[in-house]
Structure 1
């Protein structure tokens, strides 16, 4: 089938993760994404290893966020490189960048400059703190924003417990959420342009995204005036909803309503516990959390993981194991859904990638090509865009503007 973004061309000036995560999704959805990289080294994440793809200098980190793109090398510090980018923009629908605030203005590649050559341009800027405000000039990194934006203060064990301290999430969730907010915003702007003919400048900030993704925890504070505290694997609003030790490992018990709690108590051999007024409703279970959790800990620790997983599954009580990433990719559901995809790779022979999770009409939405080698498509892209200007491109190559 023709993909939904077929015919949309994106000029991707971003690097690292938030921007590339956005443009990878656009590429998976059918957009042509032209990834602009510096001739010397390219995207920083190409070297963020080990591990590296065997037989290449491409780090796994880079491979995670650059499927389906065409890489061209342009030195935008040179005036000829800036002029080339401006010409390319006239052929594009979207520009994506994550330079510091004002970083592209000195090159004449900011929104105000580029909209003069492409009035209906959709231009998306990703920064740490946004285009305005007292922190706008600062660089922003995921780890910093997890701390500054409140996420680390609600992640980890409480201070009074052994090992209690703020902890970051195991992947760069602020970058990833920012990439997806940028994606949906770009798509919204394209829909708006199709109706009005007008482009847009989109301002997406990691700090803003981090605060917005506090979700119910932010509302817990705004409603009560009390800052939520770290609770380890427990949930602030639902009980029992946490990890428990079994006789030989761990399970996650995720009781979401009173009926599920009654069925859990039946499996655990304590049906009367669900009738106790201290535990009969979620409100009362939250109020009596410590007493209830201590009872459940004793019950679950008495039997092995497999017993709980099988028995609770039969009764429709949400539960699951805590898998390693190796176990994740061995899981039959993950395998059935095809979340690992293999693509041919010119240097390595083959590269394994994580599939886009979205399906259209039962079809997985993955771009057809693997993450590109540095400058792999410079010649083909520029020849397509400027078919009658070989001498011009040769002169840029001789000056080191492109490779």
Structure 2
């Protein structure tokens, strides 16, 4: 089987990708990064993300980021000819990914029941908002809707403010991550059972379910205590002092999770009398009186610059950090040393970098990221 990166872990794996916008494309971008040949099936109008700003030289930044390294094949799935073409292509594939609403793939003739007959070893992933079953299965699913329904917004924001949307399309991205994990798991299972001579597997993945799985602190706390988690602002809901605090010229974060660290903190801020106060003996009690601790910390920190606060705390072994904006984070020495920004091989956008997938595989050199395809760029390679 052909592939772009013959020495990568997923070289030889062919993915037929019917997904669009974010959750599915992010999933398959991760596979492409590792050498899988991802064949993106697009309608004549193309993926909606091709038309979403911001743009550079006419190319969408978002489309470029989540469709790097793929091949674009234009097929009209509403025609019998289009369905015949993709069914033939699927017979050569290891993986199919789709993120239509439940039932749409079947109506287009590309559902699991139809394609698994043609290719019994196929691993098939369906990503949807709420899964293929349940009373919400056919609800419209966008990130803001999922964030609201899973409870994430209810625990995000200031206590006296409204529920707050997380500043990233986290539900889509998390579903993409879990999708890639599920596909690799199923491919590993198939490989152990005989590779392409073994039976494949169908995977039903919901954005809603993915978010509940992500929300470890909130869901576990609720299940164990039968209490409803609430918004606590820029602090940890269960520990203290553990959150963001004000300085003379900005904000910084602290993570004090045990008595040893609390003792060091009190020494730094000249508040060692707190160590003999029964209200602050345990992490749980400190959380109960978090506002009092905050007053003590900020009485000290508001007189000092962030850079000086970080220096003092780090010298004493107290976990802390400044609050950076996105530009500062991307330009940090840490990002540079980890080579997180990888050059994109695309003459349309050169010079341009993208954020790479985060795992570093020992003995495997970091490759340059392949360009996102032009609409229909590879149609003639696969469709006669």
TM-score, normalised relative to structure 1: 0.90
Report if the CA contact (8 A) 2:76-2:82 is conserved.
yes
Q: Distance in 1 between matches of 2:71 and 2:24?
A: 15
Check if 1:8 corresponds to 2:9.
no
Q: After TM superposition, list the pairs within 5 Å mapping 1:307-346 onto structure 2.
A: 307-346=308-347
Q: After TM superposition, list the pairs within 5 Å mapping 1:364-379 onto structure 2.
A: 368-379=369-380
Report if the CA contact (8 A) 1:101-1:136 is conserved.
yes
Runs of 4+ in 1 over 6 A off after TM superposition: none
Which residue of 30, 42, 47 maps to 1:43? 47
Secondary structure at 2:40's aligned position in 1?
A: strand
Question: Which residue of 1 is the match for residue 291 of structure 2?
Answer: 290
Report if the CA contact (8 A) 1:70-1:372 is conserved.
yes
Check if 1:19 corresponds to 2:17.
no
For structure 1, which runs of at least 5 residues remain unmatched after alignment?
A: 383-392, 394-403
For structure 2, which runs of at least 5 residues remain unmatched after alignment?
A: 1-5
Report if the CA contact (8 A) 2:345-2:368 is conserved.
no
Question: Which residue of 2 is the match for residue 72 of structure 1?
Answer: 73
Q: After TM superposition, list the pairs within 5 Å mapping 1:379-394 onto structure 2.
A: 379-382=380-383, 393=384
How many pairs align?
375
Question: Which residue of 2 is the match for residue 175 of structure 1?
Answer: 172
Give me the CA root mean square deviation.
1.5
Report if the CA contact (8 A) 2:146-2:171 is conserved.
yes
Select between 365-374 and 125-134 the one with higher mean Cα deviation.
365-374
Q: Distance in 1 between matches of 2:364 and 2:239?
A: 36
Deviation for aligned residue 1:139: 2.2
Which residue of 189, 194, 200 maps to 2:191? 194
Report if the CA contact (8 A) 2:130-2:136 is conserved.
yes
Q: After TM superposition, list the pairs within 5 Å mapping 1:2-401 onto structure 2.
A: 2-40=7-45, 42-49=46-53, 51-53=54-56, 55-56=57-58, 58-159=59-160, 164-196=161-193, 197-361=198-362, 363=364, 368-382=369-383, 393=384
The answer to which structure, 1 or 2, has the higher relative contact order (CA under 8 A, 6+ apart) is: 1
Deviation for aligned residue 1:366: 5.0
Report if the CA contact (8 A) 1:355-1:366 is conserved.
no
Secondary structure at 1:194's aligned position in 2?
A: helix
Report if the CA contact (8 A) 2:90-2:119 is conserved.
yes
Deviation for aligned residue 1:134: 1.1
Deviation for aligned residue 1:364: 5.7
Q: Distance in 2 between matches of 1:268 and 1:62?
A: 48
Q: Distance in 2 between matches of 1:366 and 1:218?
A: 39
Deviation for aligned residue 1:213: 1.7
TM-score, normalised relative to structure 2: 0.94
Q: Distance in 1 between matches of 2:380 and 2:98?
A: 22
Q: Deviations over 1:54-111 (max 9, x none)?
A: x22x211112211111111111111100000000000100000001111011221100
Question: Which residue of 1 is the match for residue 3 of structure 2?
Answer: none
Deviation for aligned residue 1:374: 1.3
Report if the CA contact (8 A) 1:356-1:366 is conserved.
no
